[in-house]
Amino acid sequence: MKKFVNDPAKFVPEFMEGVALANPELLDYVPEFQLIKRKDRPVADKVSVIQGSGSGHEPAHVMAVGPGMLDGACQGAVFAAPPVDACYETIKALATDAGVLVLINNYQGDKMAWETAIELAEAEDIKVKAFFINDDVAVQDSLYTVGRRGVAGNFFVIKACGAAAAEGKSLEEVIAVAEKVNNNVRTMGVALTSCIPPAKGTTIFELADDEIEVGVGIHGEPGRRRDKIKAADAIVDELFEAVSTDLPFASGDRVALMVNGLGGTPISELYVLYARAHKLATDAGMTVARNYVGEYCTSLEMAGASLTLLKLDSELEGLLAAPAEIAIRTF
């Protein structure tokens, strides 16, 4: 295992400490709950939007904390749900009169942890609601889910809800935004390689030198099928077909188009994928109103990518265009 790691058991707190040190004015870091929150939140009359999941998907979720995005996030070990007490403390740390919205990617572990934490918080009269994201079209049920998985479409739910909360919308209104995004967003990914969780020290699944996993989950869960490596355009064609026919998207739609890197794929390759996806969308009569190319929801150093389409209306376009800032910046 060749990684930038000290003690594998301390990998998560060490990178969280790095994020906190890089953002002394923006963020508070609470090591005992692996929790990062905005320094200037909670605010009584604003809905707090929070999240929490296993680590290894960075920038999701603790690096997506900032104005117009998440107000706080906690995380578990790599690919493991956060403990109930971390979820509970995150809710409590961000509780407001307007309420807390917990955005949960649909995995059994996360669901159980958050639902228990929400019960505990409600017993203390904290106003808190859960919303489940399930944008992955690859498979119906899977290794860690009943129903579809939540993957990179998560970014759009965060962005839109973060903007709606910043505007002062009510908890019910912010939930309505989450529903609208989740109902209109679809994703599918492909892995070229596996990845190695530091504490495990070995790959989470095996792929031969000439194989790819089509429809892979962000924890390396099986997708639709194994295939041989093929041309980038052919891979995009398959992802685009799966994603666009699922909603379905149609000619005349205004869409946001995302090519998300899974961690080990260079940005140059992501733009090769984007070029093809953009053409497919345009040829299908869609207008790509906004585009997103980069890393949003990763699987450690896995080489691979996912493709996400979000159908827009004027409300969503406005929310996506609203100003936002996250803990990781390149400038």
Q: Footprint of a second copy on this chain (CB under 8 A)?
A: 1-6, 11-12, 14-19, 21-22, 55-56, 58-59, 63, 159, 192-193, 209-210, 212, 229, 231-233, 235, 263-275, 278-279, 291-296, 298, 300-301, 303, 305, 324, 326, 328-331
Residue 61 annotated to the active site: no
Cβ atoms within 10 Å of 156's Cβ, excluding its own: 28
Q: Smallest distance, Å, CB 179 to a second copy?
A: 22
Taking the least distance from each CB to a second copy, the nearer of 85 and 301 is: 301
Taking the least distance from each CB to a second copy, the nearer of 96 and 298 is: 298
Residue indicated by tokens 């996360």: 110
Taking the least distance from each CB to a second copy, the nearer of 6 and 314 is: 6
Q: Smallest distance, Å, CB 95 to a second copy?
A: 28
Q: Smallest distance, Å, CB 99 to a second copy?
A: 26
Q: Smallest distance, Å, CB 92 to a second copy?
A: 26
Active-site residue among 38, 41, 57, 169?
57
Active-site residue among 38, 219, 276, 278?
219
Residue 320, token pair as written in the block:
């996506």
Taking the least distance from each CB to a second copy, the nearer of 118 and 157 is: 157
Q: Smallest distance, Å, CB 110 to a second copy?
A: 18
Q: Report how far residue 268's alpha carbon sits from residue 270's, in angstroms, rounded to the nearest whole number.
A: 5
Contacts of 159 (CB under 8 A, 6+ apart): 68, 69, 319, 320, 324
Taking the least distance from each CB to a second copy, the nearer of 125 and 209 is: 209
φ, ψ dihedrals at 232, nearest 5°: -55, -45
Just list the catalytic residues.
Answer: 57, 219
